[in-house]
């Protein structure tokens, strides 16, 4: 129930906390909690369930100031709509690992986790909603926000990187 | 659909979160003819593939996997080992209390209180069918296809009237769950509005005849020992119920 999702949990923790040591700590704590709570788990989606626990233990670490990141869950929801980056420009550009990881890293954490859960883990909206404990509507608007922001960051990063 | 409507739905469409077959077809038709929206769609897909190709994946290191496997191996034995008599008595007392509490819960919920929790369950069932999951298991406007489809899947047989001539065409049916019980969901349309009719066995006759929650309307009736709950955002539910009842009266 827990073991198959440890890597997904670690990847999520690593993306939220941005360092290996804290990520391992968070996943370890989450696993202990998961084993304690496993009898109460009645759902069918073990991955979303475990990732939700990992996410909570990440938030706890962040609240304790480890690492020093400001996390405001849902801060992005209040921002005015970003303009959609020019799709043509986006389709023409070449990307590499450095640029992509830099751009993902530059996203605020509540948007970064959207990209990780949807694009990397390929989770359905309702699973993501279970992980972040928000309604599906919030998932949709945050994900949309995250995508536009990431496209923008990718385009910006590229212009500097070009010779 | 115009560009604005399509661009609002484009992401859930691209994410495969769309099972409203009618809307999906309309979006595809629009994409086939509108280069600007197609480009937007391509860019959206490219973002996903760029992330999947290049984003670093931080798999759990072996030592973490091993230490978690070790917790998992120890944990199930936790409650056993040396149990003394006092603990046993205490556990038995606890068990009695839990059983009594469970009994009370089962007695009074949700059968005798068909209020908020049932309504919320029905509304979320309706939203789920439109949004993330699937609208039907059996897409058909033929009542003679939909009604027999439920046979063997449920221990009751819902009435499936044909209401197309009243402006409520049948589009399909599916199995769903409400409050943990399997129910039949019949799907009708009213213009662009979807109507889900949840049919379940009568637990206790609910006194609630209509309700509204989160902008959705619910209307309830019972017939032949079955409970019917229609959920939709359309205002024509009372009319729908009247037509439904007229058609199903012998």
A19 part of contact set with chain B, CB < 8 Å: no
In this prediction the pTM is 0.55
Question: Which residue numbers in chain A have pLDDT < 50?
Answer: 159-163
Kindly list the domain boundaries of chain B, sorted by start residue.
1-79, 82-113, 116-248
pLDDT, tens only, B50-74: 999 899 889 888 888 888 888 776 6
Residue of B nearest to A95 (CA): B50
For B1-79, CATH number? 1.10.10
Of A32, A87, A101, the CB nearest to B56: A101
Instruction: Give me the pLDDT at residue B113, please.
Output: 43
Chain B residues inside the 8 Å CB shell of A88: 39, 43
Instruction: Give me the pLDDT at residue B131, please.
Output: 67
B4 part of contact set with chain A, CB < 8 Å: no
Can you tell me whether residue B174 is helix, strand or coil? strand
Beta strands in chain B (DSSP E): 138-139, 170-178, 181-190, 193-201, 210-213, 216-223, 226-232
Give the Cα separation of A111 and A108 in Å (integer).
6
- B136 burial type by CB count under 10 A (0-12 exposed, 13-18 middle, 19+ buried): buried
Residue of A nearest to B62 (CA): A7
Query: Domain B116-248 classified CATH 3.40.50.300?
Result: no
Mean pLDDT, range B230-249, rounded to an integer: 88
Instruction: Give me the pLDDT at residue B114, please.
Output: 46
Give the Cα separation of B210 and B203 in Å (integer).
18
pLDDT, mean over chain B: 81
Mean pLDDT, range B135-164, rounded to an integer: 84
- CB within 8 Å of B1: residues ≥ 6 apart: B26, B27, B29, B30
Give the CA-trace dihedral at B107, B112, B117, B118, to 10 degrees.
120
Residue B214 has pLDDT above 80, yes or no: no
For A75-161, CATH number? 1.10.10.10
* Residues B151, B173 contacting (CB under 8 angstroms): no
Give the Cα separation of B35 and B13 in Å (integer).
17
- B188 burial type by CB count under 10 A (0-12 exposed, 13-18 middle, 19+ buried): buried
ipTM of the complex: 0.85
Instruction: Give me the pLDDT at residue B192, please.
Output: 80
A17 part of contact set with chain B, CB < 8 Å: no
**How does residue B78 score in pLDDT terms, banded at 50, 70 and 90?**
very low
- Give B118's strand partners: none
């Amino acid at each position: 129930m827990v073991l198959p999702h440890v890597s997904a949990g670690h990847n999520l923790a690593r993306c939220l906390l941005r360092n290996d040591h804290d990520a391992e700590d968070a996943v370890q704590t989450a696993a202990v909690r998961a084993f304690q709570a496993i009898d109460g788990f009645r759902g069918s989606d073990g991955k979303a369930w475990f990732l939700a626990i990992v996410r909570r233990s990440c938030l706890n670490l962040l609240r304790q100031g480890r690492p020093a990141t400001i996390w405001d869950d849902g801060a992005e929801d209040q921002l005015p709509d970003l303009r959609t980056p020019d799709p043509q420009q986006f389709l023409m550009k070449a990307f590499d690992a450095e640029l992509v990881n830099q751009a993902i890293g530059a996203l605020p954490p509540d948007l970064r986790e959207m990209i990780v859960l949807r694009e990397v883990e390929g989770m359905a909206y309702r699973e993501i909603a279970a992980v972040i404990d928000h309604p599906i509507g919030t998932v949709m608007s945050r994900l949309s926000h995250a995508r536009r922001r990431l496209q923008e960051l990718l385009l910006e990063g590229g212009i500097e990187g070009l010779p | 659909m115009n560009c604005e409507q399509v661009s609002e739905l484009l992401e859930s469409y691209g994410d495969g979160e769309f099972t409203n077959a009618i809307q999906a077809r309309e979006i595809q038709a629009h994409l086939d003819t509108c280069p600007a929206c197609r480009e937007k769609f391509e860019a959206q897909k490219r973002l996903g593939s760029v992330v999947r190709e290049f984003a670093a994946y931080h798999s759990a290191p072996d030592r973490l996997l091993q230490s978690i496997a070790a917790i998992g191996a120890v944990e199930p034995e936790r409650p056993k080992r040396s149990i003394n008599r006092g603990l046993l008595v205490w556990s038995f007392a606890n068990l009695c209390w839990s059983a009594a509490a469970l009994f009370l819960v089962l007695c009074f919920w949700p059968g005798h209180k068909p209020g908020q929790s049932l309504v919320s369950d029905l509304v979320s069932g309706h939203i789920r069918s439109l949004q993330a999951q699937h609208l039907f298991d059996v897409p058909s406007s033929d009542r003679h296809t939909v009604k027999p489809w439920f046979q063997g899947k449920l221990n009751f047989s819902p009435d499936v009237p044909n209401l197309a001539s009243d402006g409520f065409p049948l589009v399909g049916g599916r199995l769903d769950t409400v409050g943990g019980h399997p129910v039949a969901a019949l799907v009708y349309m009213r213009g662009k509005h979807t109507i889900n009719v949840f049919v379940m066995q009568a637990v206790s006759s609910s006194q609630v005849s209509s309700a509204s929650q989160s902008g959705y309307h619910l209307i309830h009736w019972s017939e032949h020992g079955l409970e019917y709950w229609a959920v939709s955002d359309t205002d024509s539910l009372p009319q729908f119920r009247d037509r439904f009842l007229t058609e199903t009266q012998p």
